Amino acid sequence: MDFRIDLILQSLPVLGQGLLMTLELTVLAVAIGTVLGTLFGLMRVSKNKIFYFLASMYVDFFRGTPLLVQLFLVYMGLPQILGFPLDRFTAAIATLSLNSGAYIAEIVRAGIQSIDKGQWEAALSLGMNYQQMMRYVILPQAFKRIIPALGNEFIAMLKDSSLVAVISLEELLRKGQLIITRTFRPFEIYFAVAILYLLLTTLISRFIAYTERRLNIESTD
Ligand code: ARG
């Protein structure tokens, strides 16, 4: 059996480009997803029935259907209604963000609901209205609590972003596939792709663990 390590080394620059695209997709999707998730998470704890209903539909749809199907729906389905084509990058970012937003909405909802009743009562007794209470008392504490969960979502998205290879967006997995069509060496290349994903997820989970430790230290001060 020969294992062509030289081939892996040669492929690294191209795989590196893919890795950057994967990171870009993930960072953007989780950033936009956090904005969406905060909005929809707030709607899910709102007493307004319509807000609650709309947010629940959104969360249920994007968590209850496969990301792969959502990707096809946006990339191939939406242009039919819009009347103009979407480029791959836009379609990928839109789908990944909407999907991540649904998962983050649940994280935010749980974070808000985990804040002690006393905090709400204290805010009320200071004469705050709902908006002020959320902005100055509840959300800051909730966000601190959900940082580890957001980190996990980041890792999940990093891996799931490989699904956009099916619309030929050249992220890490797709770059690997393209190299294989030239070299006919799937074992070496997929192995390298896997190791690169592993490297990223390990680095990020270390970083999350570190942040978690720091936050714990701060909260006992
Ligand atoms: N693998 C699941 C799917 O295909 C979830 C994808 C999205 N994951 C996430 N954490 N946003 O539907």
Q: Which ligand 1 atom minimizes the distance to the CA of 100?
A: 11
Ligand 1 in reach of 149 Cβ (< 6 A): no
Average confidence (pLDDT) over 3-14: 94
Interhelix angle 139-160/186-220, rounded to 10 degrees, is: 170
Q: Is 67 in the pocket of ligand 1 (CB under 6 A)?
A: yes
Q: What is the pLDDT of residues 89-127, one digit of tens each?
A: 999 999 999 999 999 999 999 999 999 999 989 999 999
Q: What is the residue-averaged pLDDT of the chain?
A: 94
Cβ(79) – ligand 1 distance below 6 Å: no
Q: How far apart are CA 106 and CA 207, in angstroms?
A: 23
**Which residue puts its alpha carbon closest to atom 6 of ligand 1?**
67
Q: ipTM value of the model?
A: 0.93
Residue 43: enclosing H or E segment and its boundaries? helix 5-45
Q: How far apart are CA 26 and CA 188, in angstroms?
A: 25
Whether residue 30 contacts residue 146, with contact meaning beta carbons closer than 8 Å, is answered with no
Q: For the segment 71-98, what is each residue's pLDDT rounded down to a tens digit?
A: 999 999 999 999 999 999 999 999 999 9
